[in-house]
């Protein structure tokens, strides 16, 4: 039972934070009521993780105000925020590897008398007495979380899933009023997802408020009472997940433009990916088969298949956390523990190191660090052509012809370029060795619509040179309109693929945002209401 | 009372002193992950201050110049020496511990070591410069009046007592929740901070305590050999303590004790009897130091956890109140 | 006033020596992302190699210096290839690499002691009378030191901005991962960096030896923290910052002699290091950023 005027536990008002010149959080504002399970969702680069880093004191706010439990905690260092009852977990499990699971559990409890130097040296019984209580408590928690039998293992030896459980269990030991979870379900298998959901619900019953950054929107719909949608550093909308699914702004933020208008049953052309080659595709230059890969022990993608033909643009789309970027990295040999087969022009390159792949016909442009910031545009291109014996300069000038925007900035430091120009430069650098295949990781992320169009123009132009281009694209609309073939990845697996136009006719909102998705009449009705009001 | 017994007693005193040093470094590095590359400097500061506190004020016709000259008894002098070392540790911590990366502290310690060494060596009015101080009275011997052959056994007892006390403190610290928090900071200081631990304060505690240990060890040494000059605490000595800790087992106080026996006592003392090469007086010492340097690297390659690795924490005092087992999934 | 100019002149000499050393340390840090605590011994080795070539093998003293510089560079490559690279390939934590270079510094300083003994030696360069250059006094050797430093800095600038391999070093300093996906063989560039770093250390050791007129096995190690001060002042990992840091430290230490007892020269460098760490850690932002 909630009271009629629910109390607010967390209030974020116009908080902003910028890395260098890039505004990651830009005036985000929202509140969270005590006793709820809140979610912070939004497309990649929306600033969610940055926001919780600011809220928990890991980063100092550069503007705005954060109040927690009636206290103004803006600018407090993390340890002080934590002691006031706001405990956060980490996106990648940060177990204290050289300590046992049980010891991990004993670190968080606040105000431990045994931590005082005097007690530690002169009155060890104080610490023992306190530990007797804490160990009992910790063991009970470990039982709940199914980690009791692993209590004396070093935490580094736990499985990926167990580490996620420990992350949550350990957080509880910090006696939080509010727990901020950073992607608690990332890389977690379905059985464990259920289990974690159950734990979170139980803990809420026990009086803990939650705020989680989460990409799995079905989970969010199941357990979160209040959802805050962020895009481009701001709060876009708040409410319940079921309602937000129909919110056009939200759908646009996730998928891009006009797709919402044509939700229809899947036509025959787009089909579940089988790995077989549909007859309308030409001979492939890149074939990646049954790739399973991830970071550490958790596989992010499973059995994913992809192929690309010369002169064609292949796009990979899918909800956040679907494993699109991971697939690119795996194809380019940047992930060690992968299985599956990667063929480049018929040659198995699965075991090659990245630099060898780069020298033999494939190029990769990462999403975040894609240029050498302290070097000029021209020098960046030279680095792209590093293995050319001669003619580097000539080739660089050739490439600059393809990118008129960069031509005028050739002696500018890459660190001073705009985000869009950087993405262009990344692409230009990748072209230096005249690769057969170019992999682009979200080349339009964070760009203005106008520049996005320019970038896609460039991508088409690159393909027109006979290159096979694989693009990870957040904006489904763009992918459908500009690519030749589209793969849809969901939760680390192929969901479907087909000709771009045909994939565009599929009910993608429901794939992306979960649930049934709005139907055409519903949307029309909603628009009328909006326009009327 | 033969020379062998006298020599063995000397070795025991050295062992006790090195045990204290290695425990102190273990508190800093083994528990808190602090890289102190000039540990011996804190030892020297402790020794000098203990010495000059015990000595009488230098007379004008004396050929030594030094500060203080308080004519204090041993115990307060030792405490003063420890405090001086701890204070220097505090200052170093103030400069370097706020930064997270371990390189910063390592750079600052190396620089502090060089500066202090330079200062003591050049500035004759502090501790008599390069000649060093000599003639520090034997602790308690103004009351005991023992002859050197008997006094040494008294000193074995004295250092043994101090070592036992500091050993108990080291073991208690390690097992205490304070030690646990230090290890958590060593493993991942972001996580520790996210659970409310003031990582700067905790690391500072480890830094200062480790320096107090070094200061006390220094005071015990100067009470024993009654003289010290800069040649007695060159940078090379720091490596011996590091080698002792890494060989014995960082994060394990028994390992530190074993290392203190194996490296500074057994290895360094055993090589003392190698014949000197004519015309090359420093060759043996140089080779010895090369081996110590090689040992540091070799241990990290072949057995980075040391002979006695850090042990898992156990909680034997927690009586199980009920049978426990993991909760099962419903599905 | 004339004393001030005089010490400014000495400051330029010290800054020249320091610049050679600091740039070498900084370059290697930028590419490999850990500090070499044995760097001081690299200086020592350079000076002793030059002395040995000249005294034992009777090579012309100037030629000895050139060969010794190159040999120290080769020594840097060997150290990386057989000691540091294996450690970093094994995925050992950063802490280990620092302790390894620390252990190496003891090993090397005693190796030098074992081979060459503890006595002071000096390079057989002609002794000269100082002559005045404007209000400052220099010997021809000292002018040569300044000239060498200027020429080497210019050469380095050309290396870093005009050659593929130098640009690749800068690229690795920016991002090792991106360098790899660009097709740069990062192992090879790392080796080359150690060669350059070692050569600079060797050369710095030689000119330091000339400037001090005589040297002994500990002299490079004793100079290490002055190098640290210059590197940190300029921002760790930035070679151009290191030059600036060397200039500031060199001038500050020598010119402090006007107001302070010259025995406290090094303390001035130390004070600047501490001030920098306390007040202007921005110079170190890059280092913090690379920690991840």
Total domains, chain C: 1
Q: Is residue B120 part of a domain?
A: yes
User: Which residues of chain C does B289 touch, with a Cβ-Cβ cutoff of 8 Å?
Assistant: 106-107, 109-110, 113
The residue segments making up the domain with residue C50 are 2-125+133-290
User: Which residues of chain A does C181 touch, with a Cβ-Cβ cutoff of 8 Å?
Assistant: 332, 334, 354-355, 358, 363-364, 366
pLDDT per residue over B254-264, tens digit each? 999 999 999 98
Judge: C167–A364 Cβ closer than 8 Å, yes or no.
no
Rounded to 5°, angle at Cα A385 from A384 and A389: 160
User: Which residues of chain C does A358 touch, with a Cβ-Cβ cutoff of 8 Å?
Assistant: 180-183
pLDDT of residue C289: 34
Q: Which of B29, B30, B101 to mutate to test binding with chain C, by most C CBs within 10 Å of its CB?
A: B101
Judge: A94–B329 Cβ closer than 8 Å, yes or no.
no
- Give the residue ranges of DSSP H helices in chain B: 3-25, 39-54, 74-96, 102-122, 124-127, 141-144, 148-175, 177-187, 189-194, 199-225, 235-248, 253-260, 268-270, 283-302
Angle between helices A124-144 and B177-187 (to 10 degrees): 60
Residue B7 contacts C, CB cutoff 8 Å: no
- How many whole angstroms separate alpha carbon B95 and alpha carbon C284? 14
- How many whole angstroms separate alpha carbon B95 and alpha carbon B138? 37
Q: How many residues does chain C have?
A: 292
Judge: A96–B178 Cβ closer than 8 Å, yes or no.
no
Residue B197 contacts A, CB cutoff 8 Å: yes
Burial A368-378 (b: 16+ CB within 10 A, else e): eebbbbbbbbb
pLDDT of residue B140: 87
- How many whole angstroms separate alpha carbon A269 and alpha carbon A496? 10
Q: Give domain A284-506's CATH architecture.
A: 3-Layer(aba) Sandwich (3.40)
User: What is the number of CB-based contacts under 8 A between chain A and chain B?
Assistant: 145
Structure token digits, residue A486: 């589209």
Contact B89, B218 (CB under 8 A): no
Q: Is residue B324 part of a domain?
A: no
Rounded to 5°, angle at Cα A440 from A437 and A445: 165
Q: Which of B194, B202, B318, B326 to mutate to test binding with chain A, by most A CBs within 10 Å of its CB?
A: B194
Residue B310 contacts A, CB cutoff 8 Å: yes
Judge: A147–B326 Cβ closer than 8 Å, yes or no.
yes
- Considering only residues 202 to 231 of chain C, which have any Cβ-Cβ distance to chain A shorter than 8 Å? none
Residue C266 contacts B, CB cutoff 8 Å: yes
pLDDT of residue B48: 95
The pLDDT of B303-321, averaged and rounded, is 83
Closest-CA residue to C179 (of C194, C199, C164): C164
Å between A355 CA and nearest CA of chain C: 4
- How many whole angstroms separate alpha carbon C266 and alpha carbon C234? 18
Superfamily of domain A1-95+169-244: P-loop containing nucleotide triphosphate hydrolases (3.40.50.300)
Residue B106 contacts C, CB cutoff 8 Å: yes
Residue B89: pLDDT band with limits 50, 70, 90:
very high
Dihedral sign from CA coordinates of C70, C71, C72, C78: positive
Residue C285 contacts B, CB cutoff 8 Å: no
Nearest CA in chain C to A380: C171
Long-range contacts of B316-320 (CB under 8 A, 24+ apart): B317/A128, B317/A131, B317/A132, B318/A131, B318/A132, B318/A135, B318/A136
Q: Which of A121, A157, A158, A202 to mutate to test binding with chain B, by most B CBs within 10 Å of its CB?
A: A121
The residue segments making up the domain with residue B108 are 3-232
User: What values do phi and psi take at A139, rounded to 5?
Assistant: -65, -40
A379: nearest CB among C167, C173, C179: C167
Contact A15, A24 (CB under 8 A): no
Residue C105 contacts B, CB cutoff 8 Å: yes
Residue B325 contacts A, CB cutoff 8 Å: yes
- How many whole angstroms separate alpha carbon C165 and alpha carbon C184? 9
For A493, residues 6+ apart whose C-beta sits below 8 A from its C-beta are: A301, A302, A303, A304, A323
Residue C275: pLDDT band with limits 50, 70, 90:
confident
- Give the residue ranges of DSSP H helices in A245-323: 248-255
What does each C-alpha distance from A337 to A32, A91, A303, A363 come to in angstroms? 40, 20, 14, 21
Successive 10-residue mean pLDDT values, chain A, 533 residues: 65 87 84 93 83 90 90 92 93 89 94 91 92 92 91 89 90 94 81 88 93 87 91 88 84 63 46 51 86 77 90 87 86 82 88 86 87 90 84 87 84 84 88 90 79 85 90 85 89 83 76 54 40 36
What does each C-alpha distance from C180 to A18, A438, C31, C49, C288 come to in angstroms? 28, 15, 13, 36, 22
pLDDT of residue A260: 42
Please tell me which residue, A279 or B22, carries the higher pLDDT value: B22
Total domains, chain B: 1
Q: Which of A97, A337, A355, A392 to mutate to test binding with chain C, by most C CBs within 10 Å of its CB?
A: A355
CATH number for C19: 1.10.3470
Contact A233, A23 (CB under 8 A): yes
pLDDT of residue B251: 93
Cβ neighbour number for residue B119 with a 10 Å cutoff: 17
Query: Helix (H, G, I), strand (E, B), or coil: what is residue B112?
Result: helix
- In what helix (H) or strand (E) does residue A126 lie, and over which residues does it extend? helix A124-144
- How many whole angstroms separate alpha carbon A29 and alpha carbon A27? 6
Judge: A355–C175 Cβ closer than 8 Å, yes or no.
no
Å between C64 CA and nearest CA of chain B: 26
A130: nearest CB among B177, B187, B205: B177
Closest-CA residue to A50 (of A368, A490, A475, A281): A368
Judge: B108–C274 Cβ closer than 8 Å, yes or no.
yes
The pLDDT of B12-17, averaged and rounded, is 94
Residue C235: pLDDT band with limits 50, 70, 90:
confident
- How many whole angstroms separate alpha carbon C83 and alpha carbon C77? 10
B184: nearest CB among A107, A142, A148: A107
Mapped to the 3 state alphabet, what secondary structure does A437-494 carry? EEEEECCCCCCCHHHHHHHHHHHHHHHHCCCEEEEECCCHHHHHHHCCEEEEEECCEE
Has residue C153 got a pLDDT over 80?
yes
pLDDT of residue B329: 55
CA dihedral C41, C46, C50, C51 (to 10 degrees): -10
Judge: A353–C175 Cβ closer than 8 Å, yes or no.
no
Has residue C74 got a pLDDT over 90?
yes
Same CATH topology for A1-95+169-244 and A284-506?
Answer: yes
Residue C174 contacts A, CB cutoff 8 Å: yes
Q: Determine the straight-line distance between the first and last CA of chain A, rounded to whole angstroms.
A: 33
Q: Which of A428-432, B182-186, C138-142 has the lowest mean pLDDT?
A: C138-142
User: Which residues of chain A does C186 touch, with a Cβ-Cβ cutoff of 8 Å?
Assistant: 355
Residue B322 contacts A, CB cutoff 8 Å: no
Q: Is residue B21 part of a domain?
A: yes
pLDDT of residue C273: 85
Å between A127 CA and nearest CA of chain B: 6
Dihedral sign from CA coordinates of B201, B204, B206, B212: negative
pLDDT of residue A451: 80
Residue C205: pLDDT band with limits 50, 70, 90:
very high
Whole-number mean pLDDT of chain C?
88
Query: Helix (H, G, I), strand (E, B), or coil: what is residue B278?
Result: coil
Q: Is residue B89 part of a domain?
A: yes
Q: Which of C161, C173, C181 to mutate to test binding with chain A, by most A CBs within 10 Å of its CB?
A: C181
Structure token digits, residue B111: 């620089």
Long-range contacts of C252-259 (CB under 8 A, 24+ apart): C252/C11, C253/C11, C253/C14, C253/C226, C254/C7, C254/C8, C254/C10, C254/C11, C254/C13, C254/C14, C255/C4, C255/C7, C255/C8, C255/C11, C257/C7, C257/C10, C258/C3, C258/C4, C258/C7
- Considering only residues 246 to 265 of chain C, which have any Cβ-Cβ distance to chain B shorter than 8 Å? 263
Contact A337, A160 (CB under 8 A): no
Q: Tokens 């045990």 belong to which residue?
A: B19
- How many whole angstroms separate alpha carbon A431 and alpha carbon A437? 9
Q: What is the ipTM of this complex?
A: 0.89
Instruction: Tell how far CA A15 is from the center of its chain.
Output: 21
Contact B27, B206 (CB under 8 A): yes
pLDDT per residue over C7-36, tens digit each? 888 889 999 999 999 999 999 998 998 999
Structure token digits, residue A58: 């890991």
Nearest CA in chain C to A384: C182
Has residue C145 got a pLDDT over 60?
yes
Closest-CA residue to A420 (of A393, A435, A442): A442
Cβ neighbour number for residue A492 with a 10 Å cutoff: 23
User: What values do phi and psi take at A148, rounded to 5?
Assistant: -60, -45
pLDDT of residue C280: 66
- How many whole angstroms separate alpha carbon B178 and alpha carbon A292? 43
Residue B134 β-bridge partners: B227
Q: Is residue B15 part of a domain?
A: yes
The pLDDT of C173-201, averaged and rounded, is 92
CA dihedral B153, B158, B159, B164 (to 10 degrees): 120
Nearest CA in chain A to B324: A143
Q: Is residue B78 part of a domain?
A: yes
Q: Tokens 């064609």 belong to which residue?
A: A312
Contact C274, C249 (CB under 8 A): no
HSE, side-chain direction, 13 A CA sphere, residue A442: 23
Judge: B99–C277 Cβ closer than 8 Å, yes or no.
yes
Structure token digits, residue B71: 């004519």
For C170, residues 6+ apart whose C-beta sits below 8 A from its C-beta are: A372, A374, A375, A379, C160
Q: Which chains touch A (3 or more CB pairs under 8 A)?
A: B, C
Structure token digits, residue A133: 């209580």
Domain definitions of chain A by residue range: 1-95+169-244, 99-157, 284-506
- How many whole angstroms separate alpha carbon A314 and alpha carbon A301? 18
């Amino acid at each position: 039972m909630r009271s009629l005027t629910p109390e607010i536990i967390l209030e974020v008002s116009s908080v902003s934070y910028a890395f260098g010149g890039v505004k990651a959080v830009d005036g985000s504002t929202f509140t969270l009521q005590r006793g709820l399970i809140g979610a912070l969702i939004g497309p990649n680069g929306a600033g969610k993780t940055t926001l919780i880093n600011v809220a928990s004191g890991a980063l100092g706010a550069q503007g705005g105000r954060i109040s927690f439990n009636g206290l103004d905690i803006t600018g407090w260092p993390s340890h002080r925020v934590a002691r006031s009852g706001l405990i956060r977990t980490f996106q990648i499990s940060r177990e204290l590897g050289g300590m046992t699971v049980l010891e991990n559990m004993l670190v968080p409890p606040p105000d431990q008398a045994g931590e005082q130097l005097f007690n530690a040296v002169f009155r060890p019984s104080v610490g023992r007495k306190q530990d007797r209580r804490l160990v009992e408590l910790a063991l009970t928690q470990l039982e709940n979380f199914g980690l009791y039998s692993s209590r004396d293992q070093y935490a580094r030896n736990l499985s990926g899933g167990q580490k996620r459980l420990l992350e949550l269990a350990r957080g509880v030991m910090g006696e939080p009023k509010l727990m901020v979870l950073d992607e608690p379900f990332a890389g977690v298998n379905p059985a464990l997802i259920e289990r974690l959901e159950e734990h979170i619900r139980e803990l809420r019953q026990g009086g803990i408020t939650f705020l989680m950054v989460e990409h799995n929107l079905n989970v969010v719909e199941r357990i979160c009472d209040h959802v805050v949608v962020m895009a481009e550093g701001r709060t876009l909308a708040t409410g319940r997940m079921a309602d937000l699914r129909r919110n056009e702004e939200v759908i646009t933020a996730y998928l891009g433009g006009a797709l919402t208008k044509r939700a229809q049953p899947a036509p025959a052309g787009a089909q579940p990916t089988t790995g077989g080659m549909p007859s309308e595709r030409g001979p492939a230059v890149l074939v990646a088969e049954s790739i399973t890969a991830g970071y550490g022990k958790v596989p992010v993608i499973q059995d994913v298949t992809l192929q690309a033909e010369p002169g064609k643009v292949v796009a990979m789309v899918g909800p956040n956390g679907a494993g699109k970027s991971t697939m690119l990295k795996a194809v380019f040999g940047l992930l060690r523990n992968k299985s599956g087969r990667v063929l480049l022009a018929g040659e198995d390159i699965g075991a090659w190191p990245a630099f060898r792949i780069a020298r033999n016909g494939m190029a990769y442009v990462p999403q975040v660090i894609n240029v050498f910031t302290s070097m000029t545009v021209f020098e960046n291109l030279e680095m792209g052509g590093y293995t050319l014996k001669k003619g580097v300069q000539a080739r660089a000038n050739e490439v600059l012809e393809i990118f008129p925007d960069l031509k005028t900035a050739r002696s500018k430091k890459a660190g001073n370029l705009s985000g869009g120009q950087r993405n262009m430069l990344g692409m230009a650098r990748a072209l230096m060795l005249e690769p057969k295949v170019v992999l682009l990781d979200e080349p339009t992320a964070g760009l203005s619509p106008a520049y996005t169009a320019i970038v896609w123009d460039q991508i088409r132009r690159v393909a027109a040179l006979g290159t096979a281009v694989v693009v990870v694209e957040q904006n489904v609309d763009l992918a459908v309109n500009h690519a030749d073939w589209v793969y849809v990845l969901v939760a680390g697996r192929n969901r479907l693929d087909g000709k771009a136009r045909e994939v565009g006719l599929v009910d993608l909102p429901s794939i992306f945002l979960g649930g049934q998705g709005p139907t055409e009449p519903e949307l029309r009705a909603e628009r009328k209401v909006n326009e009327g009001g | 009372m033969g020379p062998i017994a006298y020599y063995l007693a000397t070795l025991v005193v050295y062992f006790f002193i090195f045990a204290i040093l290695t425990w102190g470094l273990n508190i800093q590095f083994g528990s808190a992950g602090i890289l102190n590359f000039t540990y011996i400097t804190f030892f020297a500061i402790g020794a000098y201050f203990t010495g000059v506190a015990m000595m009488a004020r230098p007379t004008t016709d004396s050929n030594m110049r030094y500060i203080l000259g308080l004519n204090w008894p041993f115990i307060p002098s030792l405490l003063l020496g420890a405090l001086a070392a701890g204070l220097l540790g505090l200052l170093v911590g103030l400069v370097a511990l706020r930064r997270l990366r371990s390189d910063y502290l390592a750079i600052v310690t190396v620089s502090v070591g060089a500066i202090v060494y330079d200062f003591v060596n050049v500035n004759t009015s502090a501790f008599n410069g390069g000649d060093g101080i000599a003639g520090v009275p034997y602790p308690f011997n103004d009351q005991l009046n023992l002859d050197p052959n008997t006094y040494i056994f008294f000193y074995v007892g004295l250092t043994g007592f101090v070592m036992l006390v500091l050993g108990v403190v080291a073991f208690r610290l390690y097992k205490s929740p304070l030690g646990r928090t230090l290890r958590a900071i060593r493993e991942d200081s972001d996580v520790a901070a996210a659970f409310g631990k003031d990582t700067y304060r905790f690391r500072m505690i480890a830094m200062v305590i480790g320096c107090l240990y070094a200061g006390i060890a220094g005071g015990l040494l100067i009470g024993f050999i009654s003289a010290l000059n800069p040649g007695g605490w060159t940078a090379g000595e720091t490596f011996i303590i590091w080698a002792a800790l890494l060989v014995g087992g960082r994060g394990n106080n028994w390992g530190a004790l074993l290392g203190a026996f194996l490296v500074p006592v057994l290895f360094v003392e055993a090589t003392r009897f190698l014949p000197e090469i004519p015309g090359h007086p420093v060759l043996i010492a140089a080779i010895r130091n090369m081996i110590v340097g090689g040992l540091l690297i070799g241990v990290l390659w072949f057995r980075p956890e040391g002979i006695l690795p850090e042990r898992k924490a156990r909680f034997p005092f927690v009586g199980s109140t009920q049978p426990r087992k993991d909760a099962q999934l419903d599905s | 006033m004339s004393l001030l100019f005089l010490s400014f002149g000495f400051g330029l000499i010290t800054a020249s020596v320091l610049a050679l050393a600091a740039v070498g340390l900084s370059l290697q840090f930028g590419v490999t992302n850990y500090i070499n605590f044995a760097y001081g011994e690299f200086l020592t080795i350079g000076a002793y190699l030059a002395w040995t070539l000249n005294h034992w093998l009777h090579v012309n003293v100037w030629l000895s210096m050139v060969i010794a510089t190159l040999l120290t560079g080769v020594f840097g490559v060997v150290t990386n290839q057989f000691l540091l690279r294996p450690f970093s390939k094994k995925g050992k934590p950063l802490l280990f690499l620092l302790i390894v270079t620390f252990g190496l510094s003891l090993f090397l300083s005693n190796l030098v002691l074992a081979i060459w003994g503890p006595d002071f030696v000096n390079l057989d360069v002609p002794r000269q009378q100082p002559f005045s250059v404007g209000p400052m006094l220099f010997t021809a050797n000292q002018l040569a030191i300044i000239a060498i430093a200027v020429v080497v800095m210019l050469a380095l600038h050309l290396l870093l901005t005009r050659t593929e391999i130098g640009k690749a070093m800068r690229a690795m300093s920016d991002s090792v991962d991106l360098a790899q996906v660009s097709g740069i063989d990062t192992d090879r560039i790392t080796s080359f960096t150690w060669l350059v770093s070692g050569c600079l250390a060797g050369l710095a050791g030689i000119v330091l030896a000339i400037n001090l007129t005589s040297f002994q096995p500990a002299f490079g190690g004793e100079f290490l923290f002055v190098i640290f001060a210059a590197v940190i002042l300029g921002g760790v990992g930035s070679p151009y910052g290191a030059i600036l840091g060397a200039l500031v430290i060199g001038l500050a230490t020598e010119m402090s002699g006007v107001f302070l007892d010259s025995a406290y020269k090094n303390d001035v460098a130390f004070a600047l290091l501490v001030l920098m760490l306390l007040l202007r850690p921005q110079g170190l932002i890059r280092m913090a950023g690379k920690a991840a």
